[in-house]
Amino acid sequence: MKPLDFDIDPQVVGPFELLARLGAGGMGVAYLARRLPLGLTDDLTAAYRLAEPGGDEEAVEGRLVVVKMIQPGLLDGEPDTRERFDREIDAVRAVISARVPAVIAAAPPGAARPWFAMDYIAGPDLHTMVKLSGTFPVGAYAALGLALVDALRAIHGANLLHRDLKPGNVVLGPHGPVVLDFGLAVLAERQASQALTQTGAVMGTRTFMPLEQWKDTKRVKEPADVYALGATLFFAATGRAPYPFAPMESPPSFSGVDKDFVPLLAQILVATPSQRPTLKAVETGLLSLLTDADLTPQDAADQLAALVAGSGLIPELPAKAGTGHADPAIQERAQKAVDAGAAPDAPWGSDADDLSEIDPGFYGLVDTDEIELAAEAQGAAAEEAVAPPGYTPTLVDQAPTPAEPEAEVVSAHLPAPGAEPLPTSYSLDPPHPVRPPRPSAPPPVALRVAAELREAYAHRGDL
């Protein structure tokens, strides 16, 4: 986490006070925030789609959330893009599970800057945990797998898909593993809607996606998420992805994998979707693994919790996040902003008269120009960042070291059915178009912001 920079970061977004910056990327900025006990009218409560409509505002004071502010331009284009995005955020809210963070608020449909707020989960992500603390023993491994099964079961039960399940999107919270960035895949798809109308476009993280997703994201079904679950478990057992560059038709190498883990992983990590087990079958396999180890599911959950607690990787919260109460001055100014505005998130209407005491930057939008310049400068050295012109990646997780490939929209570069067989090895040259040349000397402000982002990524918190 990094302290807020009040030159570019707002102090309040909707009914939330921002406390720290968690990360930034092509889609926007993520902040740690807490709920303010504002006196909202029923209309405002409904406009913000708050999870506690009509409830006691004092009861929710201090609730920690992650606020993700989306760049306005990402939802431009087709006339109904914003309307569809709003409907999809509501669809994500329909997923009720302890393994998926609750979406508890979102920007009103007419807001100039889209954002949404999700419950904050305090814990390291799986990628950081494995890289810094080592691979998982059988109990922790099975507990992780059972939690992922529960998360995907809830998502699929709402007739939705994740399509970017990977270690960086799994946070080991105080009550067990939680799957993040469900819904950002929706946002990435909207940004890449033109690409995804064409067979052969890919969205996701290629080292954790199945072959059919690498060929054509648009038509994947639930077995694609099951494969990603298996690839994530493979990482927990080995510290590496099943394939170093992209999925293949041939089975992955199980060298170094505990022999007890191989049978189930071998069933999941197959190229043909219909041959993969169902979530129920994966659950049965994990329970059998526990039975053979003379462990109960509760024993396994306790083992995983102890592993996380002893890792020293649980993020340290800013001092004021622990107070439980907002600064009265901030709360008062936020209430004035809401009362003065003709619409939520837009308190600076031309018909508002009494705004002299409100800081114009209080609800100010983050200037993303510097962020994008920094991302360009930083991304030039990253092999996985190569993508076609016009592509915008999903909101970057605060990448640990070594960094995990981020979700991307790329051309598949794979043969059509009936064409030449897939290669059994890959050239080290990236299979995507190379970015246009960049200026040899990025602007100084870009270098400054890039340095700040690199520092933030090195001290990762969860999003």
Residues known to be catalytic: 164
Residue with tokens 């023993």: 137
Residue type, 1: M
Whether the ω angle into residue 53 lies within 30 degrees of 0, i.e. cis, is no
Q: How far apart are CA 213 and CA 210, in angstroms?
A: 5
Q: CA separation (Å) from 218 to 76, 146, 179, 194, 205?
A: 21, 27, 22, 11, 15
- Rounded Cα distance between 205 and 394, Å, is 10
Please give the full DSSP string across 257-290, using - where no structure is assigned: S-TTTHHHHHHHS-S-GGGSPPHHHHHHHHHHHH
Do the bridges between strand 115-119 and strand 201-204 make them parallel or antiparallel, or are there none, so unpaired?
Answer: unpaired
CB 211 within 8 A of CB 217: no
Angstrom distance (rounded) from CA 4 to CA 346: 21
CB of 391 closer than 8 Å to CB of 188: no
| 171, containing H or E segment | strand 170-173
Task: Tell me the one-letter amino acid at 217.
Answer: T
